[in-house]
Chain A
Amino acid sequence: MATATAPPASLPPSPEPSMLRPRAGTGRRRFKSGLATFFIVLTFVIALVPLVLVVAYIVSKGADVISKDFLTDDIAFSTRSTEGGIGPAIVGTIVITLGATLMAVPLGVLGGIYLNEYGGASKFASLVRFLSEILTGVPSIVMGLFIYTVWVLPRKGEGLTGFAGSLALACLMLPVIIRTSEEMLKLVPRELREGSLALGSRKSRTIRTVVLPHAAPGIVSGALLAVARAAGETAPLLFTIGAATSANWNLFKGPNNALSLQIYGNATSPFEPAVARAFGAALTLIVIVFIATALARIVTVIYTRRTSGAS
């Protein structure tokens, strides 16, 4: 800057080079910025601690238990037994959660579409919105009790089936999926809808071809949260699915079992092999939920890529 030619006298002097240097108080500002960054990172690490500890602890305790026999063997009649695996519980968790998902996801997404696209501010839509908000807060054991009284009891001895558990889990998932679907549909820009409607598209077609593909990743995220939570639920299954000790692929007939119930039953037992089984079941459950989540993500990516035409 010192080498620059001097400006004519008539012009105001060019700015001093020192103008580009930090202003007074910058040191304090930088300190505050650094401090804030430090605390943000710190809180993130703190939030991560329980997560990492839980996973690490379960892996360390459960990994040894897991074997082909453990994953496929029938459940022992007593928790005191040193024998026995969790095969029927894996089967049960998969079919029961799948059943619940097949019921709750389509219904929930359709409910969300109704609320955001058709119901709007109407009285009925407001009522549905209000009720699903309340249902989100209902304890899961209440859902179990509800299904127990209206579905299991009237069927006498035949009532305890995987399907009863699916119903209870579906009741639990439904309000969550309705609400997240509605929120995700709300985020679809108005311009996109108008672009489609301005071409003479009907509302239903606009929703199908423009609105839903745009909202799909968010809706899948919401549904996944609900599925993952349902897969680990114990309370709604306690008095709806009974306690099978051999694998039952039939959702509609005969008692079933679930990993969450195995964790609950074995972990509360004072016997060493039972506690180990509980950890093995817990690890299995985490892996199953993880695989389901990954699969759903992959499917969503493929779906949005196909509809968005991006390669």
Chain B
Amino acid sequence: MTDTFTPESTINAVVTLPPTVTASGDETADGAESPPREVVFDLNGVEVYYSGFRAVTDVNLDVTRNEISAFIGPSGCGKTTVLRALNRMHDLTPGAVVKGKISYHGEDLYGAKVDPAEVRRRIGMVFQKPNPFPKSIFDNIAYGPRLNGTRKRSALDDIVERSLTRAALWSEVKDKLKSSALGLSGGQQQRLCIARALAVEPDVLLMDEPCSALDPIATARIEDLMEELKQDLTIVIVTHNMQQAARVSDRTAFYTAEADDQGKRVGKLVEYDVTERMFTNPSDPRTEGYITGRFG
């Protein structure tokens, strides 16, 4: 197990937060300016191309530490594309190119000396469809730690129990760690995937519509879980469900797809703000239109 990640160069960018903000202790007594928060991701003019086709353009936003940022927007607006740029998953898609600058704790994520495997170890991901490996529950969780060289059985036992507990799954599976992960229900499988991601002690968790295949009860459990997890890490979630974004997130980014000058549809970031303000008083009419259900 490698040590938990400490950013070599931490940028304390000053983010001006409105008085209505979220996390307690953030606001000053007079409700004017809140203290600076640590920026985890700083996206500057990010564009993603798939084999020459521009999928999303002009994304500028900061993701701050110990917060949940939600990406919402209609289908094809590029929200998942931006999410996958944050842990370099696009490296695996032939023809996909990320332009612009993405800084992670001040370091260029796409810099020449950056190792994508190392990036993904620190920036975990949970996918839309639960994707447990066709292995036992134990081996699923132990997969990441084993990558990092943890071989000792007792150490693995500890990590498996801790990760499953953090993902609120331990009590349900503690007696059947040896049985196949494929025998779990959809909601359990998704929590297993979260536990699997947590087992490598990530700094960030990216979640790509993690609840879209789950029923409301399983969804509520995952949302509760996210609320707890943000004490230790930073979460970015893509969701189709606006209520979910309103419920769980601290900040919301609204994307939409619009035709460019050549008539091709391209995804764009419309607005990024504190969730409460996005849902009560958005500054862009397109955001308001989407949130009130007039389009999308």
Mark A residues whose CB is within 8 Å of B.
120-121, 189, 191-202, 205, 209-210, 213-214, 307-311
Contacts and interface: CB of A to CB of B under 8 A. Distances in A.
Contact of B200 (A120, A191, A200, A209): A200
B143 A309 contact: no
A310 B87 CA distance: 32
Contacts of A198: 87, 89, 120, 124-125, 127, 197
Most buried by B among A200, A205, A311: A200
Nearest to B144: A199
Given A191-B131, A210-B133, A308-B180, A199 B94 contact: no
Nearest to A205: B147
Contacts of B98: none
A194 B200 CA distance: 16
Contacts, number: 84
B135 A195 contact: no
A194 B131 contact: yes
Contact of A199 (B129, B139, B179, B197): B197
Contacts of A214: 134
Given A194-B92, A194-B125, A198-B89, 15 more contacts: A192-B133, A195-B127, A195-B131, A195-B133, A195-B193, A196-B143, A197-B117, A198-B125, A199-B196, A200-B119, A200-B144, A209-B143, A214-B134, A308-B134, A309-B135
Given A199-B143, A199-B147, A309 B180 contact: yes
- Range, interface on chain B: 35 or more
A310 B143 contact: no
Interface string B130-145: 0111111111000110
Nearest to B180: A310
Mostly, the A contact residues are: helix
B264 interface: no
B19 to A, nearest CB: 37
10 contacts: A194-B89, A197-B89, A197-B92, A198-B120, A199-B124, A199-B196, A200-B117, A209-B143, A309-B178, A310-B136
A311 B92 contact: no
